[in-house]
Amino acid sequence: MTEEKDLDKRRSDIEQEVIPDEVGSVKIADEVLSIVAGLAVSEISGVAGMSGGIVGGITEMLGKQNFSKGVKVITTGKSVTVEIYVIVKYGFNIPDVAIAIQEKVKTSIENMTGFDVVAVDVHVEGIRRQDDTALEKDIAGDDTGTLEEDSKTEVIEP
């Protein structure tokens, strides 16, 4: 029975980090960390958008802005690993954009939460041209070579 309680506590800690203080505790959900990361990425020059797969595209089509789209957060205690999936604007140096994303996300999460960001992994999922069409890898996971449709673009196939 004790093992089951320990497992439940670990699951709870992964879902929401608990920060004890003198008055009570502060719980920060992973979704909040995702939103902080997404907002940080939105401030980086050269980022055309976030790649959130099918659900993200549907969210955009419905007119809702989802700042956690394209962000995956893994918490272990007060340590955080973040995975960012982005579309870069054509003409920008991809490694420079990725480094700027890593630095901004790490700084933002650490300053706002006090958590230790151990890694920010950036996955460049596509390039957006100035005419607003995106060339993205197939998000569905099949290796057919087709390019996925962005919510504002046409499907482009090789």
CATH number of domain containing 82: 3.30.70.1350
Whether residue 142 lies inside any domain: the answer is no
> Mapping DSSP to helix (H, G, I), strand (E, B) and coil, where does residue 48 land?
strand
- Supply angle C-alpha 64, 70, 72, rounded to 5: 120
114 in the Ramachandran plot: left (φ > 0), alpha (ψ -120 to 50) or beta? left
Whether residue 75 lies inside any domain: the answer is yes
Residue 34: what pLDDT?
A: 94
Whether residue 18 lies inside any domain: the answer is no
Residue 17: what pLDDT?
A: 55
Q: Which domain holds residue 37?
A: 30-135
Whether residue 82 lies inside any domain: the answer is yes
Whether residue 66 lies inside any domain: the answer is yes
Whether residue 156 lies inside any domain: the answer is no
Residue 156: what pLDDT?
A: 30
Whether residue 58 lies inside any domain: the answer is yes
Residue 68: what pLDDT?
A: 83
Domain count, the chain: 1
Distance CA 26, CA 41 (A): 25
Whether residue 8 lies inside any domain: the answer is no
* Per-run averaged pLDDT (10 residues), the chain, 158 residues: 48 53 84 94 91 53 65 93 94 97 98 96 89 56 40 35
